[in-house]
């Protein structure tokens, strides 16, 4: 018995992994812990490195990691590029310029020491900007870098620090709702920046689909929605994604044209072709294919029986009067 085309194409999705969004953190933790064990790194170091390679373990393992770890670490933001600054005797915070005791300062392996109040403000503002796009404090937060993995706000000799602020350090200064938002953004970053994972585009569906081999294009979600994994549009087999995208753009453009016609034109009462009135009186003459039907723009009646003048329509005004009553 011949199988339906859709079924034949969907049989190949046995390698698909269907994950509810609420389970993304558990899946991510497992993959980071595997890297942690393989590369002999801490959880935070493995997480930053995994993100640096776009959440692609194969890409990481095929990189220069095993031959030039220091180069990769500096590129990924695990090690500072510039020399560690010397600690100043005054213990001034370089952000708020306040004088602090050594206990009030905190920093990363780059050596930049900032007061704990400024660290808290900086990290909490980053979370607020990610979710709301606005900053409410004077702490300088680069709006162009509103990504999840942000860098130390310190600088050496005018050069910004390249070190990524680790997950555990961020969470130390986040409490309650902001910590929950931070962890949610980590999961969002893993899904949205990972080419092997895509949200199901169906409204209200909570599933993400992982396609490790990136071989299957047509996917059927657990919610029964069928879509193209590569572009996220509804299934467009046998067209490729580029053709489907061009077709969608054309349809949108034609839809906008249709809206304009509906708003700014009226159909000739005789031949039903659209007519635009851009100036002049209400006496219209249709010029489509020799129609030449004459009518009133306001009431659309035959001009021969029209009641009123070129700039006044008795029928239209009486209808408006009834509506007002």
Q: Phi then psi for 33, rounded to 5 degrees?
A: -65, -35
CATH code for the part of the protein at 264-324: 2.20.25
Could you tell me the two tokens for 322? 């009834």
How many CA atoms are closer than 13 Å to the CA of 240, on its beta-carbon side? 1
Is the distance from CB of 25 to CB of 189 less than 8 angstroms?
A: no
Domain extent listing, the chain: 5-78+185-228, 91-146+154-161, 264-324
Interval 179-196: pLDDT, tens: 888 888 888 889 888 888
Ordered DSSP codes for 252-298: HHHHHHHHHHHHHEEE-TTT--EEE--SS-SEEE--GGG---EEETT
DSSP β-bridge partners for residue 164: 151
CA distance 84 to 179: 30
Q: Which fold has domain 91-146+154-161?
A: Herpes Virus-1 (3.30.40)
Are both 91-146+154-161 and 264-324 of the same fold?
no
Count of beta carbons in the 10 Å neighbourhood of residue 60: 20
CA distance 319 to 104: 78
> How buried is residue 11: exposed, middle or buried, by Cβ count under 10 Å (0-12/13-18/19+)?
exposed
DSSP β-bridge partners for residue 92: 99
- 272 torsion bin: left (phi>0), alpha (psi -120 to 50), beta (else): left
pLDDT of residue 172: 92
Could you tell me the two tokens for 44? 């935070």
CA distance 186 to 97: 32
Could you tell me the two tokens for 139? 């702490």
Q: Phi then psi for 209, rounded to 5 degrees?
A: -115, 125
pLDDT of residue 132: 63
Q: Phi then psi for 275, rounded to 5 degrees?
A: -130, 135
CA distance 212 to 125: 35
Please report, in tens digits, the pLDDT of each residue of the chain (325 residues total).
343 445 445 545 556 788 888 889 999 999 999 999 999 999 999 999 999 998 999 899 898 888 898 999 999 989 887 666 555 555 788 888 888 888 888 888 888 888 999 999 999 988 888 776 544 444 444 444 446 788 888 887 778 888 999 999 999 999 888 888 888 888 888 988 888 888 888 888 888 888 877 766 788 888 888 888 888 888 887 787 887 777 777 777 766 767 777 777 888 888 888 888 888 888 999 888 778 889 998 888 899 888 888 888 887 777 666 555 4
């Amino acid at each position: 018995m011949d199988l339906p085309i859709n079924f034949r194409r969907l049989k190949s999705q046995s390698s698909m992994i269907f994950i509810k969004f609420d389970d993304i953190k558990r899946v991510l933790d497992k993959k980071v812990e595997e890297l942690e064990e393989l590369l002999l790194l801490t959880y935070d170091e493995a997480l930053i490195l995994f993100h640096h390679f776009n959440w692609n373990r194969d890409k990481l393992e095929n990189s220069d990691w095993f031959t030039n770890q220091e180069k990769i670490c500096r590129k990924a933001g695990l090690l500072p590029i510039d020399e560690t600054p010397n600690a100043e005797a005054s213990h001034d915070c370089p952000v708020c310029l306040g004088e602090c005791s050594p206990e009030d300062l905190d920093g990363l392996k780059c050596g930049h020491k900032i007061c704990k109040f400024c660290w808290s403000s900086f990290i909490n503002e980053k979370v607020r900007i990610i979710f709301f796009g606005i900053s409410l404090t004077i702490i300088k937060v680069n709006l162009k870098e509103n990504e999840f993995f942000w860098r130390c706000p310190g600088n050496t000799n005018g050069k910004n620090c390249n070190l990524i602020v680790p997950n555990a350090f961020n969470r130390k200064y986040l409490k309650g709702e902001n910590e929950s938002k931070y962890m949610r953004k980590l999961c969002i970053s893993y899904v949205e920046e990972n080419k092997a994972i895509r949200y199901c585009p169906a409204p209200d569906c909570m599933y993400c689909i992982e396609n490790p081999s990136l071989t299957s294009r047509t996917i059927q979600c657990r919610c029964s929605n069928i879509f193209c994994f590569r572009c996220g549009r509804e299934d467009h087999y046998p067209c490729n994604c580029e053709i489907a995208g061009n077709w969608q753009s054309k349809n949108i453009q034609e839809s906008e044209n249709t809206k304009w016609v509906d708003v700014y034109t009226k159909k000739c009462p005789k031949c039903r072709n659209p007519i635009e009135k851009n100036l002049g009186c209400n006496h219209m003459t249709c010029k489509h294919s020799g129609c030449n039907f004459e009518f009133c723009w306001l009431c659309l009646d035959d001009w021969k029986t029209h009641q009123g003048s070129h700039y006044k329509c008795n029928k239209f005004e009486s209808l408006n009067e009834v509506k007002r009553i």
